[in-house]
Structure formats: C-alpha cells, structure tokens
Amino acid sequence: VCTQQELLPCKSLPETLLFQLLGLSIATLSTVAHYGLRFTLISNVSLDSNTYKVIHHTAFYFGICLSMTLILAALLSSAATVRESQCLTAMGFFCFALAFCGLIPAACWRYTHSMEVEDSMMDVYDFMYEEVRRNTSSFRRHELTAIHEAFLCCGKHSPFGDTTDVESKTCPPDQVHNEGQDCLREIQDFLKKHMDFVFSLLGITIGFTVYGMFLTSFLWFSIHFSSNLYRKGKYTLR
C-alpha cells in the first residue's frame, strides 16, 4: 500500500519491472537465436568468406549488451526515485540514451540489410548441397542431413520436377516420399518470421526507451528544482 509520501517511488516500480522484463526478453531472444538448433547448424558449416557467422555472433553480443543496459537503466531509475539522487538519475538517463543510440542503427540495419542475412543463410545451404552432390564425403552428408531434419525440408526442388541422389541420401524417408518442402524456401520463410519478430521487438524497445529518457529527465528536473525536498528521506517500500 502506498501513502501520499510514497506515491512517486511506488509509481516507479511498475516501470522498473517493465524495463527489466523487456531486457530479459531481449536476452532470451538473443540466446535462442545464438544457441538454437537451426541457427547453430548453419553457423557451424558456414565458411569464413560467408558473412552469416559474423552476423550470427554480432547479433548475440548486441542483444546481451542491450538487455544489460536496459536492466541497469531500470535499476538506476528506481534507486534514483527512492533516494532522490540527481547522480543516479543522470546515470539512468545515460543508460537509456546509450540503448537508444544502439537501437536506432540496429533497426535501420534490419530494414536495409534483411536480404543480406537471408542470402548468406541460403548461400550456406547451397554450398553444402553442391559439396554433397559433387563429393561422397560422409561428413558433409551428415551435416546436410542434420539441416534437413532441423528445417523439416528436403533438398532443392528442380524446375523439371526430378530429384537427385542428394535427396535420397540426406532427406528423412517421409520427406523424400512426400516431396518435402524446398529447403531454400523453408529457410527463407523461417528467417522472415524471425526477423519480423525481431523488428517488432526493436520497435517496442525504442518506444519504451524514449519513455524512459523522458521519465528520468522529468525526475532530474524535479529533484534539481527541489519540488519535493520536504519528503526527502521519508520513503519506505512495503
């Protein structure tokens, strides 16, 4: 229960929990994308000349840093509200501003380079498919089989409707007999859904980050002009 003296810090608690939840959501999405079976399979077989591995690792570290920044900003803002500290408020604003400066380029990159991620991922599959078709290496065939099982697809569909020995050796039996999904199209559809979800989460995070910047700015000016000094040091949370 909040009394009149405790109104400001109690009102800050839902916002703090919201920013922490948002940060945890970003960290969870980054971890799933980095260690998820489908992403990991493609990353493990990609060549050094392919840009997918760089994108794969960069997205993970960016997501973790962003989530930590948001959680830290939420904790600093909460502590600043309770203690009426201008220093903590300024640090919270700095964290929100830092997150905002990282989110805007990330959203722009997602909008302008989405095809680059898609093409690099499909290039990895094309390379694997051609390697298995030209060579009888059991190692490459095992990796291609794992990709087929993970994406529930089967090879590349020929415009002439025929299948090669690659499909018969690397596709699950039910996919071969039932003319399973084209892997290039399946990878494209899977990545499009994932990137749309990432873009939506980035948009939501940008909105709440701007809100956090306004909130900490208002709190800093409120403390600076001593609008509530008569209540300083009397806050208790229960």
What pLDDT is stored for residue 174 in this prediction? 67
Residue 4 — very low, low, confident or very high, per pLDDT cuts 50/70/90? very low
The residues, ordered by sequence, that sit 6+ positions from 95 with a Cβ below 8 Å of its Cβ are 69, 70, 72, 73, 76
Q: Round to whole Å and give the CA distance between 197 and 24.
A: 16
What pLDDT is stored for residue 1 in this prediction? 39
Choose between 69 and 127: higher pLDDT: 69
Residue 14 — very low, low, confident or very high, per pLDDT cuts 50/70/90? low
Is the pLDDT at 128 greater than 90, yes or no?
no
What are the pLDDT digits (tens) for 117-127? 888 888 888 88
Is the pLDDT at 10 greater than 60, yes or no?
no
Which of 23-37, 53-67, 106-120, 159-173 is predicted least confidently? 159-173
Q: 78 by DSSP, 3-state: which?
A: helix
Q: Round to whole Å and give the CA distance between 214 and 93.
A: 8
Is the pLDDT at 7 greater than 50, yes or no?
no
Do 3 and 76 form a contact (C-beta atoms < 8 A)? no
Q: Report the mean per-residue pLDDT for the chain.
A: 80
Strand partners, 164: none
What pLDDT is stored for residue 101 in this prediction? 94
Residue 177 — very low, low, confident or very high, per pLDDT cuts 50/70/90? low
Q: Residue 180: left (phi > 0), alpha (psi -120 to 50), or beta? A: beta
Give the count of alpha carbons within 13 A of 217, CB side only: 8
Is the pLDDT at 6 greater than 90, yes or no?
no
What pLDDT is stored for residue 70 in this prediction? 92
Choose between 26 and 3: higher pLDDT: 26
The residues, ordered by sequence, that sit 6+ positions from 174 with a Cβ below 8 Å of its Cβ are 180
What does the domain layout of the chain look like in residue ranges? 1-116+182-228
Q: What average pLDDT does the segment 188-196 reach? A: 90
Q: Round to whole Å and give the CA distance between 82 and 237.
A: 9
- Exposed / middle / buried, residue 100 (Cβ in 10 Å: 0-12, 13-18, 19+): middle
Residue 163 — very low, low, confident or very high, per pLDDT cuts 50/70/90? low
Is the pLDDT at 33 greater than 70, yes or no?
yes
